[in-house]
């Protein structure tokens, strides 16, 4: 059943009239669309009638989405209701009257079904909170939150500027220590510290006996000993008596405990990550707003779910082989340190993963895939946008990828300012916003796919909240994509990273929106779940319709395509590289000393370079579109070395000569060099024959 659309010109503020609605209906295949002026108020009844039907409804308003959603829930609507912003994104702009093709594209995209659900990651928090910091702040935070959470405090400073809270009843556990280390995530934090002060605050009953007994006044009202002042007379130990809270000879100083939540008040956060774990909050070093942190902490009790953002296919991973490391891109780019080496492969901790998707973007082989949403689903969105835009008469369409949070808010602010003050121009008519979970989740495969669909420009909006390594990775991928497009004669600039944190900055950047030549014929393929297949589809289309069909293009270092050069003088054809290659780009030849290479398979991971004992291999980043690139070519070959005993080939002449040269001076081999010229079977036979000679002689010895 087709989707129904509810248009509204928002009290005549957006340039949508009956003629425009008729054109939109023609493009969308729905027939003429009625245009409301106050859908969220006076004409709300027409919306109620629409949601009573069994077909999905797209409401062209996000401003009042809460009103429409509440009414749909109240009426128990059976069909989904979706929302699309054509006001700030298309109508409220200097070019609003030219934005009809973009409106049609945004409506068509909104009518697409939702993405398939993905597996989830579950957190369980019972509200056990640890507050870490100096007493002045930590005790006040604890006193404020203790009625809402199960609070504990770890004091990391000994200043007694305000120790009044320590004189109150014991309302929550208090520890002291240094060298604090925190690991884990929401509901499963593990904290370790050193109990290096003689007074253990958990045992202390705060009777003040030690304070009175100390002749140097080295114990303050935080009940901690100032070691610089203390002379260790032991008077405080005697005063403490059987309570046993004071121990100057404590040998075991390590302490640890488990918590659900962490509030870190340290001047420098103890977890210095751009994306700290869920459940960890820090106030120091330009941390978050204290009121917001307190509110969020009190709400983090119970069971929580988030999507599992990634899928990992181990056999495609180019991280390592045989304890040699090749591709490390995902580990280096992850701002949450959710990825670590697991020997020859990687391990992704779904509890630490924040869903940026940067690892999937930089992965050259497609071993890591983004699942929220998948490349095929995002590709369908791009195809719908660009195809509908063209069918509605739009020209030189461009895409602006932005994140759901600040990116979406910035675009809305830009549209409202353009309408209210006209100090800014707003989104150009040819620029279609594409909202994604995170800007780092979309990379070269989908960018080139969009160009193949007819996009004349791709921009990615960074608002300053992104990790620096994400920005560097996107710029690197843009350089590779632009090198391909320029090399094939597609004139102009096609890709650009826009960095803006205010509507004015975004408006200025949009005036230099990328504008490059697109292929004359639009591609029809849909992206595959396999990243390399998607790239192959896009590259094949762009090459076939390129103004200049160059068969080989040089690419920047780090590109996911290329060849390898083999120094045949150094290569011994040991074939270690073929065993290390994760993409089957380097292959051997059964029964012959011949090294072959399939360039199309190569992901330029560098494992062959790291594995080669002779350092005979060099990477050559490039893109080859010839038929030869899809077939095995011989990089090095030689005549086989033949076993001196059974005459079976088992190695190469160069390999055996190198082995003999290295071992001929070695005492363990000097007397058995001929054995090194034998195959494995004959070597064993020769060893057994020579071992049996002394035994036979002994049996024949006369008595």
Assign residue 212 the CATH number of its domain.
3.50.50
In the predicted structure, residue 35 carries a pLDDT above the cut 60: yes
In the predicted structure, residue 419 carries a pLDDT above the cut 80: yes
Nearest CA-CA partner of 369 in 132, 529, 557: 529
Are 194 and 298 in a shared domain? yes
Are 153 and 33 in a shared domain? no
| Lowest-pLDDT choice from 219-223, 298-302, 593-597 | 219-223
Identify the pLDDT of residue 700: 40
Are 623 and 645 in a shared domain? no
pTM of the model: 0.88
What tens digit of pLDDT does each residue of 253-274 get? 999 999 999 999 999 999 999 9
Q: Is 584 a member of any domain?
A: yes
Q: Is 491 a member of any domain?
A: no
Please state, in angstroms and as integers, the Cα–Cα distance from residue 36 to each residue in 41, 99, 185, 316, 525, following that order. Answer: 10, 18, 48, 53, 37
Are 271 and 189 in a shared domain? yes
Are 366 and 288 in a shared domain? no
Domain end (from 303, 321, 353): 303
What tens digit of pLDDT does each residue of 607-656 get? 999 999 999 999 999 999 999 999 999 999 988 888 888 988 877 777 77
| Cβ-contact 534, 449 below 8 angstroms | yes
Q: Is 540 a member of any domain?
A: no
The mean pLDDT of the chain is 92
* 694 — pLDDT class (breaks 50, 70, 90): low
* 54 — pLDDT class (breaks 50, 70, 90): confident
Range(s) of the domain holding residue 144:
124-303
Are 70 and 185 in a shared domain? no
Assign residue 588 the CATH number of its domain.
3.30.70.3270
Are 145 and 199 in a shared domain? yes
Q: Is 393 a member of any domain?
A: no
In the predicted structure, residue 403 carries a pLDDT above the cut 90: yes
Q: Is 462 a member of any domain?
A: no
Domain end (from 303, 335, 355): 303
- Tokens representing 81 are 């209701």
Overall average pLDDT of the 195-218 stretch = 93
Are 181 and 268 in a shared domain? yes
Length of the chain (residues): 703
What tens digit of pLDDT does each residue of 322-361 get? 889 999 999 999 999 999 999 899 999 999 999 999 999 9
What tens digit of pLDDT does each residue of 297-326 get? 999 999 999 999 999 999 999 999 988 999
Identify the pLDDT of residue 696: 42
* 698 — pLDDT class (breaks 50, 70, 90): very low
Domain end (from 51, 83, 115): 83
Overall average pLDDT of the 467-474 stretch = 96
Are 174 and 212 in a shared domain? yes
Are 263 and 282 in a shared domain? yes
**DSSP E strand stretches across 203-321:** 254-259, 261-264, 280-282, 302-307, 310-312, 320-321
What tens digit of pLDDT does each residue of 540-555 get? 999 999 999 999 999 9
The count of domains in the chain is 5
Are 652 and 625 in a shared domain? no
- Tokens representing 317 are 């991973």
Radius of gyration of the chain (CA): 34
| Cβ-contact 107, 28 below 8 angstroms | yes
Please state, in angstroms and as integers, the Cα–Cα distance from residue 549 to each residue in 79, 146, 208, 512, 624, following that order. Answer: 49, 70, 86, 28, 11
Q: Is 2 a member of any domain?
A: yes
Are 319 and 296 in a shared domain? no
Q: CB neighbours of 474 closer than 8 A, spacing ≥ 6?
A: 361, 439, 440, 443, 460, 462, 497
Assign residue 349 the CATH number of its domain.
3.30.70.20
What tens digit of pLDDT does each residue of 666-688 get? 766 666 788 888 888 898 888 88
Identify the pLDDT of residue 670: 66
Q: Is 232 a member of any domain?
A: yes
Q: Is 487 a member of any domain?
A: no
């Amino acid at each position: 059943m087709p989707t129904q659309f509810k248009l509204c010109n928002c009290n005549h503020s957006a340039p949508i009239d009956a003629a425009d609605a008729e054109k939109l209906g023609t493009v969308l295949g729905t027939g003429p669309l009625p245009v409301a002026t106050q859908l969220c108020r006076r004409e709300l009844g027409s919306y109620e009638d629409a949601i009573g039907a069994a077909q999905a409804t797209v409401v062209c308003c996000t401003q009042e989405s809460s009103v429409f959603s509440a009414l749909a829930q109240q009426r128990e609507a059976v069909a989904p209701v979706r929302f699309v912003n054509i006001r700030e994104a298309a109508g409220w702009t200097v070019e609003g009257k030219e934005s009809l093709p973009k409106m049609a594209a945004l409506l068509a995209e909104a009518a697409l079904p939702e993405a398939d659900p993905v597996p989830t990651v579950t957190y369980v928090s019972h509200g056990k909170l640890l507050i870490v910091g100096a007493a002045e702040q930590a005790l006040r935070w604890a006193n404020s939150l203790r009625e809402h959470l199960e609070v504990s405090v770890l004091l990391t400073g000994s200043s007694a500027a305000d120790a009044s809270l320590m004189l109150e009843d014991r309302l929550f556990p208090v520890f002291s220590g240094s060298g604090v280390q925190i690991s884990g995530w929401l509901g499963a934090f593990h904290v370790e510290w050193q109990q290096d002060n003689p007074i253990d605050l958990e045992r202390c009953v705060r009777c003040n006996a030690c304070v009175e007994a100390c002749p140097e006044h080295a114990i303050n009202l935080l009940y901690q000993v100032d070691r610089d002042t203390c002379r260790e007379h032991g008077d405080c130990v005697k005063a403490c008596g059987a309570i046993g809270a004071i121990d100057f000879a404590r040998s075991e100083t390590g302490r640890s405990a488990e918590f659900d939540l962490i509030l870190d008040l340290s001047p420098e956060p103890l977890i210095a990550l751009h994306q700290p774990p869920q459940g960890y909050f820090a106030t120091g070093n330009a941390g978050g707003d204290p009121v917001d942190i307190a509110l969020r902490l009190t709400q983090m009790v119970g069971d929580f779910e988030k999507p599992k953002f990634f899928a990992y296919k181990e056999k495609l991973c180019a991280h390592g082989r045989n304890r040699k490391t090749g591709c490390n891109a995902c580990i280096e780019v992850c701002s949450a340190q959710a990825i670590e080496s697991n020997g020859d492969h990687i391990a992704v901790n779904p509890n630490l993963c924040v869903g940026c998707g940067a690892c999937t973007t930089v992965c050259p082989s497609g071993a890591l895939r983004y699942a929220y949403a998948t490349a095929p689903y995002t590709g369908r969105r791009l195809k719908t946008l660009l195809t509908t835009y063209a069918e509605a008469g739009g020209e030189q369409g461009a895409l602006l990828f932005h994140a759901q949070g600040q990116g979406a808010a910035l675009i809305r602010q830009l549209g409202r300012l353009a309408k209210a003050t006209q100090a800014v121009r707003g989104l150009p008519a040819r620029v279609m916003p594409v909202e994604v979970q995170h800007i780092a989740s979309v990379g070269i495969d989908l960018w080139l796919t969009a160009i193949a669909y007819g996009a004349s420009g791709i921009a990615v909006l960074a608002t300053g909240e992104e990790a620096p390594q994400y920005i560097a990775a996107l710029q690197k991928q843009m350089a590779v994509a632009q090198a391909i497009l320029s090399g094939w004669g597609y004139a102009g600039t096609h890709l650009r990273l826009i960095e803006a944190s205010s509507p004015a900055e975004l408006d200025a950047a949009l005036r230099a929106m990328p504008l490059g030549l697109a292929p004359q014929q639009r591609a029809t393929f849909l992206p595959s779940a396999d990243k390399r297949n998607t790239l192959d589809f896009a590259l094949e289309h762009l090459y076939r319709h390129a103004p200049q069909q160059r068969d080989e293009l040089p690419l920047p270092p780090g590109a996911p395509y290329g060849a390898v050069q083999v120094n045949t003088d150094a290569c011994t054809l040991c074939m270690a590289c073929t065993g290390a290659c994760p993409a089957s780009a380097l292959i051997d030849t059964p029964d012959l000393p011949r090294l072959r290479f399939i360039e199309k398979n190569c992901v330029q991971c560098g494992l062959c370079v790291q594995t080669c004992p002779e350092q005979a291999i060099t990477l050559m980043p490039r893109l080859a579109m010839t038929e030869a690139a899809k077939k095995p070519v011989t990089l090095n070959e030689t005549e086989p070395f033949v076993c001196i005993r059974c005459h079976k080939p088992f190695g190469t002449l160069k390999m055996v000569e190198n082995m003999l040269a290295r071992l001929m001076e070695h005492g363990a081999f000097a007397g058995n060099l001929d054995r090194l010229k034998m195959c494995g079977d004959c070597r064993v036979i020769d060893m057994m024959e020579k071992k049996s000679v002394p035994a036979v002689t002994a049996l024949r010895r006369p008595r």
